[in-house]
Every structure is written in structure tokens, then in C-alpha cells.
Homo-oligomer: A and B are copies of this chain.
Amino acid sequence: MTDGPSRRKFRREGEERRRQDLIEATLDCVAERGLQGATVRAIALRAGVTAGLIRHYFPGKEELLQAAYAAIVGRMTEQAKAALAMEGAGPRRRLAAFVAANLGPPVVDARVFSLWAGFIGRASSDPALATAHREGYLGFRDEVEALVGEVLRAEGRAAGKAELRRHAIAINAIIDGLWIEGCLAGDIFEPGELVEIAIATVEALLGLNLREEEKT
């Protein structure tokens, strides 16, 4: 009748599966309790394992957080890249698709934003993180710049380097700004409103219509 030292039952999962589960659990914790609330114990509980297991798959908590961050950044850029790769579509439609991709799910998401804010908030104090952001930002901006260049070229309009740079910075800012609001208070906007506003602003900025296809 004496219940012996009952040890918890468990199942062995594949390595990749466990890593993914832990990353997902981390994202959930960050979303629900903020970065501070993402402790190893909370993450493990959410993943259905015990805390020690984290160290079996990651060198430390920091690496798990970085993996989670990388996972989210990956998902976001994946969307954007898909829009860029739209073969067969003209530059204008590709630009519009790119903007739209960055302002819809899964990019616009409170969970994503929490993690982003948590990480980026330390960029001022963490040089490595600051560099990472800068490279990511410049890479993103370069893509926008190239895209705008294509659009204008297709339009037969000369575009100076400085002008292109300014346009890319502005478009990037519009996307970022709307992204933030969508993440933080998506419910005060109509569905698709952010995308529409972004595209309309880009249209005004470039002085052309992105919705109708260019004449061949």
C-alpha cells in the first residue's frame, strides 16, 4: 500500500521534435507573461517536460531564447521572401505583395511582437544584438530599395541613388509603424485596413498606382 517513490512517466521524443516543442513553449510563455515570465521552469511546464531537459537540448536558456527569436524572424522573412519571389508578376504587384505580406498574419501577431520587443529592448545594451538588428534592417531595406528601383525603372522614371534610399527608408518605416500598431491593437483596425493604408501611402510616395498592372 505504500506508494513507492513514484517517478514521472515520460516518452522519448525525437530530437528535432523536442527542440521545436521547447521553442514553441518559449514563444507561448513570452506571449502570456512577457520575456520576464519566460523562465526555464515555466517553459518546461508548458512543454510538458521538466526544467533540466532544456539544458539537454540547448547550452543554456539564452540560446533557447535566441533560437525562439530566430524561429520567429525566420517565419516573418519567409513570408516577405515569398512575396518577392512571385515570378511572372510585374514589379508593382511584387512591391504591393511584399508590403501586404509584412502586414498580415503571421507577421502581425502579438506573440511575435512581445518577443521582438523583449529582444530589441536590449539592443542598446547588447552590441551583438544591435549589430544583428542593423544587419537585418539593412538587408530588409536593401530589398525594398531594389524593388522600388525595379518599379521606377519599369515606369521609365530615372531614380537617383539618394532618392531610392529615401524611399526605401520611408517605406520601411511605414511597414514597421503599421506592424507595431497591428500587433498591439489589431482590433481597432478593420481587416485589411493596415495593408490598404500602407499601399496607399507607398503609392502616394512613389506617385503611381500599385494595384493595376503595368502595361507591357
Contacts and interface: CB of A to CB of B under 8 A. Distances in A.
Interface of A: 31-37, 110-111, 113-114, 116-118, 120-126, 130, 133-134, 137-138, 166, 169-170, 172-178, 180-181, 184-185, 188-189, 193-194, 196-198, 200-201, 204-205, 207
Copies in the complex: 2
A177 B184 contact: no
Given A201-B201, A205-B205, A121 B121 contact: yes
Given A137-B181, A184-B133, A125 B32 contact: yes
A34 B166 contact: no
A138 B34 CA distance: 23
Nearest to A129: B34
A133 B118 CA distance: 16
A117 B125 contact: no
A204 B166 CA distance: 13
A127 B31 CA distance: 12
Contact of A166 (B116, B118, B121, B200): B200
A129 to B, nearest CB: 9
A161 to B, nearest CB: 14
B184 A169 contact: no
Nearest to A120: B117
3 smallest beta-carbon distances between A and B, as pairs: A173-B177, A117-B121, A177-B177
A207 B122 CA distance: 39
Given A34-B124, A126-B34, A178 B184 contact: no
